[in-house]
Every structure is written in structure tokens, then in C-alpha cells.
Amino acid sequence: GESVGLHLPTLSVQEGDNSIINCAYSNSASDYFIWYKQESGKGPQFIIDIRSNMDKRQGQRVTVLLNKTVKHLSLQIAATQPGDSAVYFCAEKSTGNQFYFGTGTSLTVIP
């Protein structure tokens, strides 16, 4: 089966600093990736996606980087705010329509 893992289960950053959340995936055939944010008591919320034919994609305050050589995905959050505190999941899709999710990284923003 698929294996999507996260390097750090928890991350604490100062408000205003940049955050980097990492994710490793095992299937080199995966060609679509999504980062989700999950706040306590809520469902996962789409943040940003990237296709395998891209190395970088930027959104509002977020950037996703994809390194296919080492099968690594990262999410960068600029000027982290208290509202960014949540669990972040990366998800990969290879064959079929199902996503495989990592166990998540808990981001805590320190005011």
C-alpha cells in the first residue's frame, strides 16, 4: 500500500515566523498531492495542491514544494498566525481515485 509519512509530528513556531512542514511519500508513481489543514473538531480543509509536473506552487501565504527525486513534499507558511495552529496532512494520489494521507503534523503558533 501507499506510505505517506511526516518527518515531525509536532512543530511550534513564533507568531510572525515562517513555518515549514515536511512530508515524505513512498510511491514514485504518485502524481497529485494536496495539503490539508484540520482544526480541532473540524474536517480537513483544502490548502493547496500540486501536480507532479510542477516543483513549486504558491498560494496566499502558503507555498508547496515538490522534490520528486527524493519523494519529498513541503508546505511553507509565511508569517505564521495563531489561526494557523492546526494539524496539517499531506495526501498523495497515484493510481485510482483514492488519496493516501500521512498521520499529520501538529502546528502550534506561539503568540
In the complex, which residues of this chain contact other proteins (CB under 8 A)?
Answer: 4, 31-32, 34, 36, 42-46, 49, 51, 89, 91, 93, 96-104
| Phi/psi of residue 82, nearest 5 degrees | -55, -35
Residue 52: which of 92, 24, 4, 82 has the closest Cα? 92
CB of 52 to other proteins, least distance (A): 10
Cell triple for 18: 515562517
Give Cα separations from 76 to 9, 22, 62 (angstroms): 16, 9, 5
**Which one, 15 or 39, has the nearer CB to other proteins?**
39
From first CA to last CA, the distance across the chain in angstroms is: 40
CB of residue 40 to other proteins, shortest distance in Å:
11
Under 8 Å between Cβ of 46 and 38:
no
Q: Which is nearer to other proteins, 47 or 109 (by Cβ)?
A: 47
Closest distance between other proteins and the C-beta of residue 76, in Å? Answer: 20
Closest separation in Å from C-beta 97 to other proteins: 6
Residue placing its CB nearer to other proteins in the complex, 37 or 74: 37
Specify the residue, 46 or 81, whose C-beta has the smaller distance to other proteins: 46
